[in-house]
Amino acid sequence: MRGVRPGVIPRAGGRRTPGGVRLRRRSGDVPDALWSLPAVAGGARRPRHAGAERGRADSADGTPAAGLRLGRPGPDRDGAEGGIGVAGEGGREAGASDGRASGGRASGGLASGRWAPEQHLRRGLSLSAAVTAVGRGLKDGMAAARRDGHPIIVRQLLTAMRHADRGLEIAELTARHEEDLVAGFDIAGAEDGFPPSRQLDAFRFLEREGIPYTIHAGEAVGPESVQEAVEVCHAQRIGHGVRLIEDIDLSGAEPVLGETAALVRSRRIPLEVCPSSNLQTGVAASLAEHPVDRLHRLGFEVTISCDNRLVSRTTLSREYALLVETFGWTLDDVRATVDRAVRAAFVDDDTKERIAGHVAHTWPH
């Protein structure tokens, strides 16, 4: 659950961030275009051809730095239980369309709406009908944003709840709905007691079909959860992953990476880090104690997200402002996470290049 307004990088150059601090920059003025820079996220499915990456391979494919989670949260803290709609097909379609208002104000934006169809079957909806309705709503929302002069690309990531044992069913649903803007797959919900391998048949199916997926791991459970997600389930992205810090010995003059941490870093597997949400779930007692900056400095593929912006009462701008305020992040640090997000997005190479070009064009030099 990575709720976010995918479009606003913290203000600087005499303007205050949401946290009331000024974002430091290396030199030069900051153009107004920067303030509409999209927070890049997951998007369209990779093409199914011989050149499309499968599994981790040696690519830099990985994590959305900021996914768009549409709708209100449900009963569980972790995952895609936040609804895109709650009242039948028409309501679901309208909810998805309205969701673009949270993310469609930035030209060139790319975002993913991650949700669990199995939790949206009220009033007689089937899984397929729910996904189709959301797809129509997203298409309507993108069309409206384009008419408003703020085009945005939005895709669905379908999530299976870890405790429900419907992973393969939802994975097959993902494969059937590419035309409804379905980009990929995730598992969410309670991490402790429901390891990624419980959904192994789903991941094997997705690998065969060439469909990208991300796995929540390393938040409620330690590095062993990440290890299983990567080595057994071949995760292309890791949701959270911050407890990898427990696999790093920081007692000496130089950090020493354990086996899992070294593997994740060497494969450049992106981490979807959600600082404020992690504080709420007890990963750290304060942001100053949160491992996000340490992991970033150690060269991990850290990206920044909101998790659920409604539950966490945050935005991507606020997350970055807090990192600036707490760790002294500069525009270079922000740019690094955005660049990683572009590389990690579940989109074809042409779309990645287009978004990367937008970032390069709008970023201060």
State pLDDT tens for residues 298-336.
999 999 988 888 888 998 889 999 999 999 999 999 999
Q: Span 160-188, mean pLDDT?
A: 95
Task: Tell me how far apart the alpha carbons of residues 158 and 181 are, in angstroms, rounded to a whole number.
Answer: 10
Residue 179 near residue 221, CB atoms below 8 Å: no
CA dihedral 210, 214, 217, 219 (to 10 degrees): 170
pLDDT at 108: 58
Amino acid at 16: R
Kindly state the average pLDDT of the residues 32-57: 30
CATH superfamily, domain 32-49+62-221+305-362, is Metal-dependent hydrolases (3.20.20.140)
Residue 13 confidence (pLDDT): 35
**How confident is the prediction for the chain on average, in pLDDT?**
76
Going by DSSP bridges, is the β-strand pair 256-257/248-249 parallel, antiparallel, or unpaired? Answer: antiparallel
Contact by Cβ (8 Å): 164, 118: yes
Confidence of residue 342 (pLDDT cuts 50, 70, 90): confident
Helix (H) or strand (E) holding 259: helix 259-266
- pTM score of the predicted model: 0.73
> Which residues, in sequence order, are CB contacts of 27 under 8 Å at separation 6+?
none
Residue 342's nearest CA partner among 40, 36, 5 is 40
- Cα separation of 344 and 157, whole Å? 14
Where residue 90 falls among pLDDT bands split at 50, 70, 90?
very low
Strands 237-240 and 271-273: parallel
Per-residue pLDDT band at 96 (split at 50, 70, 90):
low
Q: Is the pLDDT of residue 57 over 70?
A: no
Catalytic entry in 219, 228, 301, 319: 219
**Residue 66's pLDDT is what?**
32
Is the pLDDT score of 255 beyond 50? yes
pLDDT tier for residue 167 given thresholds of 50, 70 and 90: very high
Query: Span 13-21, mean pLDDT?
Result: 34
Range with the poorest average pLDDT among 77-86, 100-109, 146-155, 198-207 = 77-86
What is the model's pLDDT at position 42?
33
Instruction: Parse the chain into domains and list their residue ranges.
Output: 32-49+62-221+305-362
pLDDT at site 20 = 34
State yes or no: pLDDT of 118 exceeds 90.
yes
Find, among 307, 299, 308, 294, the residue nearest to 270 by Cα: 299
Active site residue 219: yes
pLDDT per position as a tens digit, 220-254: 999 999 999 999 999 999 999 999 999 999 999 99
Residue 210 has pLDDT above 70, yes or no: yes
- Alpha carbons 222 and 243: distance in angstroms, whole number: 5
Q: How far apart are CA 178 and CA 283, in angstroms?
A: 35
Question: Beta-carbon neighbour count of residue 211 at 10 Å?
Answer: 24
Provide the 3-class DSSP secondary structure of residue 187.
strand
Token pair for residue 71?
Answer: 């709708």
Give CA angle at 119 (115, 121), nearest 5°. 115
For residue range 262-280, list pLDDT tens digits in order. Answer: 999 999 999 999 999 999 9
